[in-house]
Structure 1
Amino acid sequence: MHRERRPSEWDLIESGADLSTALDTIPPSHTVLVDALGAFTAWHLDASSVDWMELEAELIHSLQARQRPVVVVIEETGWGVVPATAIGGRFRDRQGRLAQQLETIASASWLVVQGRALDLHALGYSVPDR
């Protein structure tokens, strides 16, 4: 169903280890769908915190260089069970932080659950840093 509803002219990236390079190989004038961010995060769970922050910065730079929209599907990890393992916690923390960083550059943010969509820019409020 997802493929049937997606415009045929969109380029699809099924996220992997080198998401920034994948984005950079698609002409900036094309609309891109990144499906989904979890695989990118999972590929880099063994990266140091410093290396991970560099990967985040590279991805954000690649996204900001685009002329056309990029739709990024992000798995929501904060609603589930707290992971019992360190690597599970690292995935949740990195995925959540990256989602928050992408929100700061997003022109729109939608929460889609059970076929229903909520416009987070219209309905939500930013939580202040403490």
Structure 2
Amino acid sequence: MIGGNERATLLVTGPARSGKSEWAERLAHESERSVIYIATAREDPDDADWMARIDAHRRRRPAHWSTLCVPTELESAIATADRGDVCLLIDSLGTWVANLIELDDAAWQARSERLLTVLEQRPAALVILVAEETGWGVIPAYPSGRLFRDRLGGLVRRLGPRCAATYLVTGGHALDLRRLGVPLER
């Protein structure tokens, strides 16, 4: 785990219901820093299942953690976060990508580049990013599904090499891919 005065970005990825958010929360707690939880989900009172998922995340978080709801302006939230020994926990990149799915390719490229840049220049001591793994099953039948899968997969692939640790959470385990894996050429 990253500690002391180190500045780092960590990536936690995995499939749905794998425990990736819980692992990210554990890493944030173990950092012993003040935590700002950046939620990218949009609330939809007409979707009971979605609201139950959001509520489960809220109930699990410690009451003393600050929470920001940032569905689209993630880059600004990171750039303007408290300076110093703070941990930003961003959950999740998949929801952020979905919230921006209507962007054309040029606008998406600009936004993803801006996110990568702000992560490198971030004021926070520790940033923990949660991202869903996509593309482990069938190819989506609809263009929007393929676009989402390709954008999120490309973003996660670009983030991994830039992070101090990249965790894959699956099967009840968190694996540090930086320690176990062999990096691919970019």
C-alpha deviations, 1:51-107, integer Å up to 9, x for none?
111101111111111241100000001213311000000000000000011112111
For the pair 1:23 / 2:78, whether they are aligned, the reply is yes
User: Which residue of 175, 180, 186 maps to 1:118?
Assistant: 175
Tell me the SS of whatever aligns to 1:71: strand
Give the structure 2 partner of residue 96 of structure 1.
Answer: 153
Shift of 1:10: 1.2
C-alpha deviations, 1:39-62, integer Å up to 9, x for none?
110111111111111101111111
Specify every segment of 5 or more residues in structure 2 that has no aligned partner in the other structure, as ranges: 1-20, 41-70
Higher strand share: 2
Give the structure 2 partner of residue 82 of structure 1.
Answer: 139
Structure number with the bigger relative contact order (C-alpha 8 A, sep ≥ 6) is 2
Spell out structure 1 runs of 4+ moving beyond 3 A.
1-6
What do you get for the CA RMSD once the two structures are aligned? 2.1
Confirm or deny: 8 A CA contact 1:17 1:40 kept in the other structure: yes
For the pair 1:37 / 2:93, whether they are aligned, the reply is yes
Tell me the SS of whatever aligns to 2:34: coil
Deviates most, 31-40 or 73-82: 73-82
Highest CA radius of gyration, 1 or 2?
Answer: 2
User: Which residue of 48, 59, 64 maps to 2:120?
Assistant: 64
Give the structure 2 partner of residue 12 of structure 1.
Answer: 37
Confirm or deny: 8 A CA contact 1:12 1:34 kept in the other structure: yes
Q: How many residues matched? A: 129
Shift of 1:11: 0.8
C-alpha deviations, 1:14-59, integer Å up to 9, x for none?
1221110111231132211000101110111111111111101111
Tell me the SS of whatever aligns to 2:144: helix
Tell me the SS of whatever aligns to 1:53: helix
Shift of 1:4: 7.7
Confirm or deny: 8 A CA contact 1:38 1:75 kept in the other structure: yes
